[in-house]
Structure 1
Amino acid sequence: MKILVIGSKGFIGSHVASFFKLIPDSTVFECDVMVDYEKDNYFLIDSTNSDYHTIFQNTAFDVCINCSGAASVPDSIKNPFRDFTLNTYNVVKMLDSIRTNQPGCKFINLSSAAVYGNPAEIPIHENLPLNPISPYGIHKMQAEQVCQTYSRFYDIPTCSLRIFSAYGNGLKKQLFWDLFQKAKKGHDIELFGTGQETRDFIHADDVSKAILCCQQKAEFKGEVINVANGEETTIGSAVEIFYSFFQGTKKVHFNGMVKKGDPLNWRADISKLKGMGYVQSVDLYDGLLKYYLWISQL
């Protein structure tokens, strides 16, 4: 089994590449925009003009996992064309390279729960109408449509995984990284929102396991699959758990302001994923403890 991980230097991509290297009879190839002189089976892509044809012309892959792209709602608002290029246009380029060179390669596209925006109901199942509230969410939705197009018209085996609130070692942005940075500056912490907003957190190790389940059991007919744990946790509760690992008491104040593009409540229906054999292995407490121990060494 030859597996190509595009975006292997990123947060989720690095976890996925490491995880699949442990799978028996699997050979992992990596691809990213950063130079790496040490790794074997590594492809360097030009960040300004990515070309995947040479990769798919010279090596036959069984599976391509796309972990690449931008992953910042605020940045997508500031730089919408850049976000479109990285999250939508590049997916077209990958799939057209597959179509041209090896149409039998399975393509797993990492999408985002951002496609749902503020959902009409909880839990969020895959058939709910999409209502993205940021350029990032719109571009992820468009990438899913691209995957469906190539599956429908060219018989390319594709599926898109809607990742909810992923976290873990290596993540240097979003809520828990922000909490760490603010804790270094003092004990009084101000955060956006009310603290009652909810997320469905999933550790990067479990994201990797979910991808394996999908790689083995998905139909690859352009379908979409939620990747989460089906657990709704308030931001206030997550903050309390995380700060329990720090020395001294942190006084947290929520300012009531909602950042543009941020959803209010998320909890996924993961019936599809569970039907493929997914079982959570890292709960939020243990995952945040691992993350705290990691950042403590920085």
Structure 2
Amino acid sequence: MKNSVTIKNVIIVGVRGFIGSHLKTYLENKGYNVYGADVIVDYVAKNYFLIDTTNDGFESVFKEQAFDLCVNCSGAASVPDSIRNPRRDYHLNTSNVFGLLNAIRDKQPNCRFINLSSAAVYGNPTSLPVAEEAIPKPLSPYGYHKYMSETICREFYEQFGLATCSLRVFSAYGEGLTKQIFWDLYQKSKAKLKVELFGSGNETRDFIYVLDLVRLIELIAMHGKFHGEAVNAASGIETSIRSAAETFFSYYPHPPQIKFTQTERQGDPSRWVADISKIKENYNYSPEFTLEEGLRRYYQWVQQKEKQ
């Protein structure tokens, strides 16, 4: 790996979200000074900045406290919602990235910036596994807006010399995630003996457990080039939706039947698996959690949540 930089103070934007909250816990356990920023009102949390949604409000975040690293975990993360309300998705996933970087340029130009992008920028890749050099062909407003955010990161590196990097996150999952496929399976299974899902079941995804993802974020923060580049964040393992669903339900005492509607959902790609050779070679990264172990942990979490 390349020589590491010294990182002490970290600000996580979107700290109350799924990935942001896990990243905060992980970094605090590693001894970093972690600050958070989000739109949720909290008058007692320490090292916390409230973001004003009516006025980007990012200037105030960077005005007083110096940061070595800013990780943007904020934004919308729903393809169907981006189709229903593209303007909101654009504001959260694109405009806010510009606001953040402009505030960093003005107040703290030495602060490194990691933007969480998405594999949705690839659309339906022409070949697999898909590498970072593939030409982006988004299928949804969400994918387009994430790609625009990457372009903004490159802009601020090339035009203003800011240290920026985008992570193309594939299908992240884990405890605390209350949307997407495994939460959907859990919700549908509570009241039915048969669960219906879009598609044929042969569609594939590259699932990355959240604890592998936050570890990768730290590795890139310390060893990344930060030349406006985009980096795949994935496991490098292709799994069919049918297999993933069956694995999740294998932890149920009485698993429900799974039925696929054979209808496609707008904006959904058919097959995804990432080429992770760059993060293996440059950051000595390999996933520590199998899908089976990650889903076992997720199943235990949803069961505990049910009892609360």
Q: Structure 1 stretch 41-50 or stretch 83-92: which is displaced more?
A: 41-50
Say if 2:118 is the partner of 1:104.
no
Q: Structure 1 stretch 40-49 or stretch 226-235: which is displaced more?
A: 40-49
SS of the residue corresponding to residue 5 of structure 1 reads strand
1:51-78 residue CA offsets vs partner (Å, 9 max, x unmatched): 1111111111000000000000000000
Identity between Structure 1 and Structure 2 (%): 48
Partner of 1:216 in structure 2? 222
Q: Assess if the C-alpha contact under 8 Å between 1:189 and 1:250 holds in 2.
A: yes
After TM superposition, the structure 1 = structure 2 runs for residues 93-172 of structure 1, keeping only pairs within 5 Å, are: 93-172=99-178
Partner of 1:272 in structure 2? 278
After TM superposition, the structure 1 = structure 2 runs for residues 41-60 of structure 1, keeping only pairs within 5 Å, are: 41-60=47-66
- Deviation (angstroms), 1:50: 2.0
1:80-112 residue CA offsets vs partner (Å, 9 max, x unmatched): 000000000000000000001111100000000
Partner of 2:266 in structure 1? 260
SS of the residue corresponding to residue 185 of structure 1 reads coil
State which of 192, 205, 216 in structure 2 corresponds to 1:199: 205
- Matching residue's letter, 1:104: N
Q: Figure out how many residues of one structure are paired with residues of the other and give that number.
A: 297
State which of 22, 43, 54 in structure 1 corresponds to 2:29: 22
CA pair 102-249 structure 1, distance change in 2 beyond 3 A: closer
- Matching residue's letter, 1:270: I
1:96-129 residue CA offsets vs partner (Å, 9 max, x unmatched): 0000111110000000000000011100000000
- Listed as ranges, the gaps of 5+ residues in structure 2 are 1-7
- Listed as ranges, the gaps of 5+ residues in structure 1 are none
Q: Structure 1 stretch 223-232 or stretch 244-253: which is displaced more?
A: 244-253
State which of 253, 256, 264 in structure 2 corresponds to 1:250: 256
CA RMSD in angstroms comes to 0.8
Say if 2:19 is the partner of 1:12.
yes
- Deviation (angstroms), 1:271: 1.1
TM-score (norm 2): 0.95
Alignment partners' CA distance in 1, 2:260 and 2:62: 49
Alignment partners' CA distance in 2, 1:168 and 1:278: 19
- Deviation (angstroms), 1:218: 0.7
Say if 2:293 is the partner of 1:281.
no
Alignment partners' CA distance in 2, 1:9 and 1:258: 32
TM-score (norm 1): 0.98
1:222-277 residue CA offsets vs partner (Å, 9 max, x unmatched): 00100001000000000010001112131111111110001110010011111212
Partner of 1:227 in structure 2? 233
SS of the residue corresponding to residue 21 of structure 1 reads helix
Alignment partners' CA distance in 1, 2:61 and 2:194: 50
Q: Assess if the C-alpha contact under 8 Å between 1:213 and 1:273 holds in 2.
A: no
Say if 2:297 is the partner of 1:290.
yes
